[in-house]
Amino acid sequence: MAEIGHFIGGQHVAGTSGRSADVYNPATGEVEKTVALASVEEIRAAVANAKEAQAAWGATNPQRRARVFFKFVDLLNQNMDELAELLSREHGKTLDDAKGDVIRGLEVCEFVCGIPHLQKGEFTEGAGPGIDMFSMRQPVGIGAGITPFNFPAMIPMWMFAPAIACGNAFILKPSERDPSVPMRLAELMIEAGLPAGVLNVVNGDKVAVDALCDDPDIGAVSFVGSTPIAQYVYAQATAHGKRAQTFGGAKNHMIIMPDADLEQAADALIGAGYGSAGERCMAISVAVPVGEETANRLVDMLTPRVESLRVGPYTDEKADMGPVVTKEALTRIKGLVDRGVEEGAELVVDGRGFTMQGYENGNFMGGCLFDKVTPDMDIYKTEIFGPVLSVVRAKTYEEAIDLPMKHSYGNGTAIYTRDGDTARDFASRINIGMVGINVPIPVPLAYHSFGGWKSSSFGDLNQHGTDSIKFWTRTKTITARWPSGIKEGAEFSIPTMK
């Protein structure tokens, strides 16, 4: 059985810790590979390698750094089918969805091809008598990224692309559940011309996470995962003097107004709620129809759509969604559905009993649809991260908007309406980081920044867009005056422009 090790110094190296984890095919439930779990010593070796490589890379002019990413984007397109196959086999998502995973990462790589412009500083001539003032954005040195299982291509590229483009070296610790794609991305970066050691991939578990947060040579840490771990990583990293951006869970609401195109809204909810088996931090998991008539019509439209979802392995080109990632995840999701029934929610469509001939050991589950969910229920409060959509009925717009406003998570939200005043009010008032107006999954394009509010995000700067350039660099400001402009004699008061 193949064992995945680490990628350090531009080459694959075997793990030496003596610890490993199984890598499953979620469709079959079978172990297909094992992955090494790094020790603290292996993390230190990767960091030392990165530190040695960073000095020359940081001194490389930005045009040459950009050329690596131009080539990398080309290689991603050339290897799209291979990457999607690797991703689907370990994650379970459909091939089309896997390609979307790669493409959304590729778009950030396209964005950082503009690093010569993005990393420019500022200049003021004549800021004072004979004084010029300018600033520059310099790399933090070594960055680290800790990424989740649900987007094994996109999120690593969201992190390492801007970090490396800015002149940093980078240590990537991907999820141990689906590690093959991150390793392949590292190979392609080397093929694109990245010097060895600038991007190292170290597989591991909590031991590796703690080592990255503690390491004195790492200047910045980025994380995506659950909220409890996001809080933990943020506290650990900042306690050791690092800057950190950590992104946690979500409970994304879609409000459906009485004037909305309900057919359009129902289709949007199906795609946003059940795509990737609901294993997305931007999945819509709560539908909030306003008014009883709207709610009744919406549930009537959703029910046959959920019942007819085609569930299957990634090799089924007609599948709408695949299995969830692990048996533990499947057990947890089913347990939360059980809890919803116990709490009194109406389970309109029950996907718990779904089985697939020939894939009886796979982690498959059909779509579930709850109606008449209330805010006091666990299924409303908790991020289920599975193919479960809850309908929470609201009598008025104010009651509807109050739901996401008061929820502890604040990642994404959406509203479906034909009324411009309502949409504008919603976008202005809502305390959520990313907002869609007749758009169900409002993930910003690469040149805008991605990030939630409240318990969905910790840190001041978001991912990709201009925020990423700020996060992976430090600003240095220089005030210069040459001898011809210097007056004789000491000056004891603080300099001013008066």
**Residue 126 resides in a domain:** yes
- Asked if residues 91 and 321 have their Cβ atoms less than 8 Å apart, the reply is no
* Residue 15, pLDDT above cutoff 70: yes
pLDDT value of residue 497: 61
Residues 264 and 241 in one domain: no
Query: Mean pLDDT across the chain, nearest whole number?
Result: 97
Tell me what pLDDT residue 12 has.
98
Residue whose C-alpha is closest to residue 35's, from 23, 45, 17: 23
Catalytic residue among 109, 166, 213, 281: 281
Binned at pLDDT 50, 70 and 90, residue 482 comes out as: confident
The tally of domains found in the chain comes to 2
Asked whether residue 369 falls in the same domain as residue 270, the answer is yes
Query: What confidence tens digit (pLDDT) does each residue in 304-325 have?
Result: 999 999 999 999 999 999 999 9
- For the segment 152-172, the average pLDDT, to the nearest whole number, is 98
Q: Are residues 473 and 347 in the same domain?
A: no
pLDDT, tens digit, for every residue of 16-71? 999 999 999 999 999 999 999 999 999 999 999 999 999 999 999 999 999 999 99
pTM of the model: 0.96
8, 44: one domain: yes
φ/ψ (deg, to 5) at 359: -130, 40
User: What percent of the chain is modeled with pLDDT above 90?
Assistant: 96
Averaged pLDDT, 114-137: 95
Residues 236 and 265 in one domain: no
Residue 208 lies in a domain: yes
- Residue 109 appears among annotated catalytic residues: no
Whether the per-residue pLDDT at 486 is higher than 80: the answer is no
Contacts of 439 (CB under 8 A, 6+ apart): 414
Predicted pLDDT of residue 485: 60
Closest CA to 412 of 428, 432, 430, 398: 432
Q: Does 305 lie in the same domain as 241?
A: no
Structure confidence at residue 489 (pLDDT): 76
- Beta strands in 140-209, from DSSP E residues, in sequence order: 142-146, 169-173, 199-201
Domain-embedded: residue 491 = no
CATH number, domain at 54?
A: 3.40.605.10
| Cβ-contact 455, 409 below 8 angstroms | yes
Which pLDDT score is estimated for 146? 98
Q: Is the pLDDT of residue 498 over 70?
A: no
Token pair 């050691």: residue: 197
Q: Would the pLDDT of 130 be above 70?
A: yes
For residue 444, is it within any domain? no
- What contacts 196, CB < 8 A, 6 or more positions away? 9, 10, 11, 53, 190
Region 469-488: mean pLDDT is 88
C-alpha to C-alpha distance for 151 and 153, rounded to whole angstroms: 6
Confidence of residue 483 (pLDDT cuts 50, 70, 90): confident
Q: Domain of 272: which CATH number?
A: 3.40.309.10
Same domain, 145 and 59: yes
pLDDT (0 to 100) of residue 493:
77
Tell whether 75 and 135 lie within a shared domain.
yes
Residue 168 has a pLDDT of 98
In this structure, are 242 and 257 located in the same domain?
A: no
> Is there a single domain that holds both residue 147 and residue 256?
no
Q: Which tens digit of pLDDT belongs to each residue from 395-416?
A: 999 999 999 999 999 999 999 9
Domain membership of residue 410 as a residue range: 252-437
Whether the predicted pLDDT of 77 surpasses 70: yes
pLDDT (0 to 100) of residue 488? 73
* Same domain? 431 vs 334: yes
